[in-house]
Amino acid sequence: MSDVNTKKLITDPLSDNNPITVQILGVCSALAVTGNIANALVMGVAVTLVTAFSNLTISSLRNYIPGRIRLIVQLVVIAALVTLVGEALKAFAYDLSKELSVYIGLIITNCIVMGRLEAFAMGNKPLPSFLDGIGNGLGYAAILLIVGTIRELFGTGSLLGFTFFGEEAFHNISFLKHGFFHAFFHNGLMVLPIASIFIIGIIIWIQRSKNQELVDIS
Amino acid sequence: MNTNSNGYTLGFLAIMVVVVGGALALVSSALKPTIDANVLLDTRTKIMKSLLALSEEDESSKLTANFVNSEYEKNVKAYLVDYNGDVVEEKIPATYDFRKEMKDASKPLENKLFPVYEYTNNGEKTYALQMLGLGLWDEINGYIALKEDKKTIKGVAFDHKGETPGLGAELVKYKFRKQFFNQSLFDTNGNYDFVVYKAGKLPANGKGVDGLAGATLTTNGIDAMVKHTAEIYKNFLNK
């Protein structure tokens, strides 16, 4: 395996083979947990870990897994890893685990994870599979972060909990107290998961207008 | 080796179950003490938030794990009262679960037990009562603390399982909670007189809490939850 290929395993899913905007996988959670940046970040990290290590595990076992039960084996590995991530969050970041609650468990049904196992890990060696998992996890996290940033900024006027717009913005800095930052009204639509559909749609549009090869004309 | 034979498949499954099950059990038991401590601290923080009714700055700076635990252990007395308002258990047993108790349909309200967290500060008492209700998507819960007269609200703390972020989930925010502070749950005749009203629809007597904009059902859920809490604790509050 050449170095160019190794690099492509990580960089491809970030743009031309992005799991959300090109493979159209994992859209459900991209709509649900992108209300603010902190949630998007933790979810991105969690999915990256699960995808990478499930790819590694399945790829190491690929020659021993009986063909007839391979989907069951894949699911067991994913479910076990997701449970580990969930327990670790509860122990070391309790507030975040409360906020993400059901969505951590739902990583099990995130199509990216199983999609990569079937499409890549079952037919490739452990190291490339591991990198493919990391690449796809990062590609997913990148979209989540973009959507999360836009939604948090315009929905609640803050970034990572720090308020930029609205009546509470800079309330202890006198020369910024009035004017531009206060004239902003929070956009209620951005708070709802529905906003993500529009944002992801626009990202897909921009990406395809830049790279015509991605346009499916069939 | 034939990896498609029945024997191989069954053997593979058996080993996989043992390995994965063992690993998960190991991790779960290793992390259990940490998780239990987190849950306990979270509960105590909510109780102290309602009892102390601090300012927003103090809430974020003072309510550290050490402060909450030491203040709770030193000055909070937790006990169970029955429907008549009499103390039946001087300490809340570890087996007691408020959620289970409230949802137990086979037990009439008159036979249920309710927790009270009594906080003493400079000789003055404050009582935190536990609340449980329904929001838009799932359960909402929290604590409401009443001053020594058992009528005036000292503070509140809310939590939820799945309210919409930015809308219903705003119930945990200080801006919403501070509206409860120093309001009376009852009128001068002792009748329940408190409402969490739909945004902007102020009742004629000017009393109550302005609900969450864009979250009518969560607002209604909070209103019903506070009312229900006053109902189940009414005999305790009249003592």
Does B39 sit within 8 Å of A94, measured CB to CB?
A: yes
| Contacting residues of A for B20, CB less than 8 Å apart | 76-77, 80
The pLDDT of residue B61 is above 80: yes
CB B38 within 8 A of CB B68: no
Residues in chain A: 218
Q: 3-class SS at A54?
A: helix
Q: How far apart are CA A174 and CA B47, in angstroms?
A: 36
> Which segments within B82-219 are labelled E, that is strand?
87-89, 114-121, 124-134, 139-146, 153-160, 196-197, 209-210
Of A84, A87, A155, nearest to B166 by CB-CB distance is: A155
The pLDDT of residue A140 is above 90: yes
Q: What is the mean pLDDT of residues A150-154?
A: 90
Highest-scoring range by mean pLDDT, A185-189, B1-5, B117-121, B171-175: B117-121
Does B28 sit within 8 Å of A66, measured CB to CB?
A: no
| Contacting residues of A for B136, CB less than 8 Å apart | none
Residues of B with CB under 8 A from a CB of A: 3-4, 8-9, 12-13, 16, 20, 23-24, 27-28, 31, 34-35, 38-39, 41-42, 161-162, 164-167, 214
Supply the DSSP symbol for B1. Answer: -
| Contacting residues of A for B165, CB less than 8 Å apart | 35-36, 39, 191
Percent of chain A with pLDDT strictly greater than 90 = 44
Does A192 sit within 8 Å of B166, measured CB to CB?
A: yes
| Contacting residues of B for A87, CB less than 8 Å apart | 27-28, 31, 35
Q: What is the mean pLDDT of chain A?
A: 85
Residues in chain B: 239
Please name the helix (run of DSSP H) or strand (run of DSSP E) that holds residue A163, with its range, or none: strand A162-163
Q: Per-residue pLDDT tens for B119-152?
A: 998 889 999 999 999 999 889 999 999 999 999 9
Q: How far apart are CA B184 and CA A19, in angstroms?
A: 55
Q: What is the mean pLDDT of residues A133-161?
A: 90
Does B167 sit within 8 Å of A191, measured CB to CB?
A: yes
Q: What is the mean pLDDT of chain B?
A: 91
Residue A167, chain B, CB below 8 Å: the answer is no
pLDDT at B189: 85
> Which segments within chain B are labelled E, that is strand?
76-81, 87-89, 114-121, 124-134, 139-146, 153-160, 196-197, 209-210
- CA dihedral of residues A99, B37, A91, A109 (deg, nearest 10): -50
Q: How far apart are CA B195 and CA B91, in angstroms?
A: 32
Q: What is the mean pLDDT of residues B175-194?
A: 90
Q: Model pTM?
A: 0.80
Residues contacting residue A83 through CB under 8 Å, at least 6 positions apart: B24
Could you report the predicted ipTM of this complex, rounded to two decimals? 0.76
Minimum mean pLDDT among A171-175, B10-14, B126-130: which range? A171-175
Q: 3-class SS at B129?
A: strand
